[in-house]
Amino acid sequence: MTRQDRANDPGRDSGDGSGNTAAGGAGSSRGSSPGSSSGGTSGSWYSVRSTWRSPAGGRELGLALLILAIAGVVGFHDPVFLTGVVWHDILVRCAPAIIVSCGVMIVVVLGDIDISVGSIMALLAALLGRTLSSHELQWSVWAGVPLVLLSGAMIGCVTGMLVTLGRVPSIIASLGMMTLLRGFATLAMGGKNIDGLPEAVVHASKTGWFGIPLGPWAALLVVLATYILLTRTALGVRIYATGSHPESAGNAGLPVYGLRIFAFCYAGFLTAVATVVDVPRLPKIESGIGSELELFVITSVVLSGVSISGGRGRLSGVVLAVVLLTLVRPVLTFLSVGEAGEKWTKAIHGLFILLAVVSDRFSATMDRRKKSR
């Protein structure tokens, strides 16, 4: 039985037969909830909540300083890099990855992983094109866009149910969904590209408001909404609680299955949001849309300091990590690396994720040693 499976068995306790939990002191009453005022539960949950929300700014500060250092060095080499036009383009490139990363971060905080987001975007892009294009079904925007958003949420929900109710490891479930959905996307495209989207949709995606395309505006709203969810609601407390101590959370009466399904559903929904706001700005919809998005997003989440074992991570770090990884390709272009830039970009991304994983393992080991003293 896996760690998450044990967390969802309310009959399991710490071994003393009283229903009290040994890991994390989640509470003495199975029905107690985070923030309740009964007995020792409120003190324990308050202590853990303070830990989750305490400023863990080391990683974020490092990412911010690295971004500034790169901008300074490359800007010194070529001042054009520091112009508004270049950073406008970088901002637009960041937007879809930031949106999707907000959802995937919650999945990882809960101790799972979702590598199907790129294929979800590909299928939803095909659905968007098929429904709205003037060469296809020609649906109204008010019908096609909600369908895409609902489809993204439902796909995420299916993955979440495979992981929880089906007890399939999240890496296997999302890998299967990734392959399946990529195949469906190819079939939906019918071997051709799709254009002819409504002019209003294309205009909003490209120009948005005040000269800033729709993607960055949507990313800003998603980041704010996700930040509020994680830091200002009981749901956010329960998400961190479950990721940090799944067995204790299950014994305390938290809906562990429901939280995990919600996380996958939210990631699918945000992938749909990214599809709607970003894909229409492209000249045409192709079957290869979303390829390697999952690798980019997972790299960003891990690089940000989100623990791959769950229970720890900050949204600000995720945003900074996305910006840093997005900078790699433009920086190589300004440094005149040439055609090898794409290969170097993948190598640097791989190096980042290896360093992030090693750092995460080292931090976890040091924390365990401190606690054992």
pLDDT digits (tens, 9 = 90+) for 160-175: 999 999 999 999 999 9
Q: Is 40 a domain residue?
A: no
Residues 188 and 312 in one domain: no
Q: Is 250 a domain residue?
A: yes
Residues of the chain above pLDDT 70, percent: 84
Residues 318 and 226 in one domain: no
20 and 13 Cβ atoms separated by less than 8 Å: yes
Give the mean model confidence (pLDDT) for residues 291-303. Answer: 91
298 and 348 Cβ atoms separated by less than 8 Å: no
Residues 149 and 247 in one domain: yes
pLDDT the model gives residue 351 = 87
pLDDT the model gives residue 57 = 61
Number of domains in the chain: 2
72 and 321 Cβ atoms separated by less than 8 Å: no
Query: Which of 268, 290, 312 is the C-terminal boundary of a domain?
Result: 290
Give the C-alpha distances (Å, rounded to integers) separating 240 from 49, 146, 159, 196, 285.
8, 30, 20, 44, 38
Q: Is 210 a domain residue?
A: yes
Residues 187 and 251 in one domain: yes
304 and 63 Cβ atoms separated by less than 8 Å: yes
Given the structure tokens 């863990």, which residue do they identify? Answer: 56
Which range, of 15-24, 105-114, 171-180, 220-229, averages the lowest pLDDT? 15-24
Residues 198 and 299 in one domain: no
Give the C-alpha distances (Å, rounded to integers) separating 13 from 6, 30, 104, 245, 276.
10, 10, 30, 13, 45
Q: Which domain holds residue 214?
A: 108-290
Q: Is 112 a domain residue?
A: yes
Q: What is the pTM of this model?
A: 0.83
Regarding predicted confidence, which is higher, 122 or 345? 122
pLDDT digits (tens, 9 = 90+) for 127-141: 999 999 988 889 999
Q: Is 198 a domain residue?
A: yes
Residues of the chain above pLDDT 90, percent: 57
Label residue 217 by pLDDT band (50, 70, 90).
very high
Amino acid letter, residue 184: F
Regarding predicted confidence, which is higher, 349 or 3? 349
Regarding predicted confidence, which is higher, 55 or 334? 334
pLDDT digits (tens, 9 = 90+) for 25-78: 333 333 333 333 333 334 434 434 443 444 446 788 989 999 999 999 999 999
Look up residue 19 and give its DSSP letter: S
Residues 136 and 154 in one domain: yes
| Separation between Cα atoms, residue 373 and residue 360, nearest integer Å | 20
Residues 217 and 311 in one domain: no
Residues 160 and 238 in one domain: yes
Residues 186 and 151 in one domain: yes
Which range, of 148-152, 172-176, 193-197, 348-352, averages the lowest pLDDT? 348-352
Query: Which of 290, 323, 340 is the C-terminal boundary of a domain?
Result: 290
Q: Is 99 a domain residue?
A: no
Residues 191 and 307 in one domain: no
Q: Which of 141, 142, 170 is nearest to 156 (CA)?
A: 170
Instruction: Give the Cβ contact number of residue 195 at 10 Å.
Output: 14
Give the number of C-alpha atoms closer than 13 A to the C-alpha of residue 230, restricted to the C-beta side: 26
Label residue 1 by pLDDT band (50, 70, 90).
very low
Could you write out the DSSP letters of every residue in 230-293? HHHSHHHHHHHHHHH-HHHHHHTT--HHHHHHHHHHHHHHHHHHHHHHHGGGSSSB-TTTTTTH
Q: Is 6 a domain residue?
A: no
- For all residues of the chain together, what is the average pLDDT? 83
Give the mean model confidence (pLDDT) for residues 8-27. Answer: 38
Q: Is 339 a domain residue?
A: yes
Given the structure tokens 């956010």, which residue do they identify? Answer: 236
Residues 303 and 347 in one domain: yes
Residues 241 and 332 in one domain: no
Give the C-alpha distances (Å, rounded to integers) separating 149 from 120, 187, 268, 276.
11, 20, 9, 8
**Cβ neighbours for 187, distance < 8 A, ≥ 6 positions apart:** none
Query: Which of 243, 274, 290 is the C-terminal boundary of a domain?
Result: 290
Phi/psi at 87 (5° precision)? -75, -25
Label residue 339 by pLDDT band (50, 70, 90).
confident
